[in-house]
Structures are given as C-alpha cells and as structure tokens.
C-alpha cells in the first residue's frame, strides 16, 4: 500500500484526513511534535518536534511516496513581531526544509495546504482565481505565499509534483474562531445586527476539502499547480446564519443595522478585521478545479452544516 506522510495529523483537518486515507488503502504515517495524541488512529507515527528550519525529516520520509503538509502556524487576527517571526520559521523555513528533504527522498507528490489569503482578503469585481497574482495582506498570508515559492523551487528538476491547495474558510467538527462564534450566537438566541449585510463568501467543509486531497493524491495525471476549492455555493452572512439556525433547530433574529455603522462600531472596539470578514465578500472560482480533476464536493453545504451542527450539539452545548 502507498505510504503517505501527514503533518498536522492531530489537527482539525488532519485528523479526519488520516481516517479517510486509511479507508482508501493508504499506509498513514503521522509526523508529530511529541507523543501520539489520544484517539489518533494511524498506521505509523514519527516524532519530529517543533517544525522549523532545523527539523530533521529524513527518518519520517523513509519509504514515503506522498506528503500532505497540513501543519502550520495558524492565522490570528492581531499579530506581533514575535508572531511574524514564528510564521516565517514554521510556515516558510519548516515547509522549505520538508520539501527539500521530500525531493531528496524521491517523494512523488507533495500536497501543501495553503490559504486563499494568499490571493487577498476580499473580492469585489470577480471571484479569486488560481492564476491571480498573489496579494497577501498580513504576515500569515505572506508566509504562506513564501512557503509556496519555496516548495516550487525545491521541486524544480525533480520528479516531485507539488500541488498547492488554497481553501477559503473551512468548517466542520472542531471548527473554531468566527464560525464557532456564529454558531454560539445563533444557539443562544441573540438578536444579531447583521440583517443588512449584502455580501458573498465561499466556504468549504472539511469533508469536501479532504476529498479533494484524496483526489489529488490518486489522480492519474500531473497535479502540479494551484488548486482552489469551495462547497460550490456562496452565501451572504445573513443567509449563512439562517442556514446555521436551521441546522441547529433554532430561530435566528436579525436586526437590519447599516453595514457602515457595524464597521464603525467594530473599529472603535478594535475588532475591525473581524467585522470586515462578516461584512465583506470573498469568493473563489473553483470551476477550474472541478473541470480539470472531474471532481465535485463530496458533501453538500446543507449536509455539511447538519453534520457540524450535530457535533456542536454533542460537544459544545
């Protein structure tokens, strides 16, 4: 059975990906910072410590055909200089070291989980495309773009194909940050001042994202390049709240507060970036991905929200 090395195996995306890979006949090796996390079901584990320029990857890559690099220093809304340095060390230097070691080891395909933030923070005239000129706006996004460039450079002149995946907001069991906050607001029956927002945002469930990763691993032709992904249904914030409410079996009450007042109030409270995500648009054009790979999201947005709501009711209430 082909062996795949997973970084970030114990994370929100990595844990279900390990299970899906095992179901499809892969030998799954998890690269872990320390001891194996509880309930992480993989065939093999290897301890690599903190990811950075000094990480030793040779042992982890023995007899590995595929790499899925999902580990990263995660995005935060407010960064300091120290955080920016950590983004560079983990996301850029760590990825570069792994890519170079993977190329030396003869890895066939290297899948890198990047971010749509490499394209930019918001869309206006049209959705983001895979061939857009990158326009990262913060330290996290810049680190992801630099990691993509380092990967491409490491693969030049080798047989290793590098597939870069830039997802928008990913949701599912274990989701955190804004999406979990929205679920809690709806569940608690709060009156939410977002009824006047008119925007469009792309999302992708963890199930469909991981299904795309499986497709990229097994595809018979070269998968080198940049791939955008979404559920295929873009939603305005009020509609997303209504869909979440339906999945939770709740009613949602939306007040129509002008968007400019929401932005002003959020800026005064130091939460302008969060409000920009609720009010602004961010759409991705995933049609080239669907057409080139003959791929479709494995789970509809409605079903994915139902599954996420079931997790929330079980684990968060």
**51 class by beta-carbon count within 10 Å (0-12 exposed, 13-18 middle, 19+ buried):** buried
CB 30 within 8 A of CB 46: yes
Q: Rounded to an integer, what is the distance from CA 171 to the centroid of its chain?
A: 9
CB 169 within 8 A of CB 229: no
Classify 66 as helix, strand or coil: strand
Q: Which of 26, 112, 140, 312 does the annotation list as catalytic?
A: 140
The question of whether 171 is a catalytic residue gets the answer no
Classify 109 as helix, strand or coil: strand
Query: How many CB atoms are closer than 10 A to CB 126?
Result: 9
CB 117 within 8 A of CB 90: no
Distance CA 128, CA 136 (A): 12
Written as one string, the DSSP assignment of 302-314 is HHHHHHHHHHHHH
By annotation, the residues acting in catalysis are 140
């Amino acid at each position: 059975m082909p062996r795949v090395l997973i970084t970030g195996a114990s994370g929100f995306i990595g844990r279900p990906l390990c299970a899906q890979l095992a179901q499809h006949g892969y030998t799954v090796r998890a690269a872990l910072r320390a001891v194996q996390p509880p309930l992480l079901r993989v065939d093999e584990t290897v301890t690599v410590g903190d990811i950075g320029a000094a990480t030793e990857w040779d042992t982890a890559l023995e007899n590995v055909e595929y790499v899925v690099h999902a580990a990263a220093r995660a995005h935060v809304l407010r960064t300091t200089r120290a955080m920016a340095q950590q983004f560079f060390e983990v996301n850029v230097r760590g990825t570069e070291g792994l890519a170079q070691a993977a190329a030396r080891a003869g890895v066939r395909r290297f899948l890198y989980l990047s971010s749509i933030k490499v394209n930019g923070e918001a869309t206006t005239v049209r959705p983001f495309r895979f061939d857009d000129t990158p326009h990262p706006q913060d330290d996290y996004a810049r680190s992801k773009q630099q990691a993509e460039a380092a990967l491409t450079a490491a693969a030049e002149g080798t047989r290793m194909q590098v597939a870069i995946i830039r997802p928008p907001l990913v949701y599912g069991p274990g989701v955190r940050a804004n999406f979990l906050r929205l679920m809690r607001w709806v569940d608690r029956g709060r009156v939410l001042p977002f009824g006047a927002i008119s925007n469009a945002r792309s999302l992708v469930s963890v199930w469909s994202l991981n299904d795309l990763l499986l497709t990229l691993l097994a595809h018979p032709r070269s998968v080198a390049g940049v791939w955008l992904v979404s559920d295929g249904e873009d939603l305005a914030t009020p509609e997303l709240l209504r869909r979440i409410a339906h999945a939770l079996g709740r009613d949602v009450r939306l007040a129509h507060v002008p968007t400019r007042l929401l932005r002003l109030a959020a800026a005064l409270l130091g939460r302008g970036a969060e409000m920009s995500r609720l009010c602004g648009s961010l759409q991705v054009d995933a049609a080239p991905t669907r057409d080139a790979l003959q791929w479709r999201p494995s789970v509809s947005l409605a079903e994915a929200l139902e599954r996420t709501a079931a997790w929330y009711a079980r684990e968060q209430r």
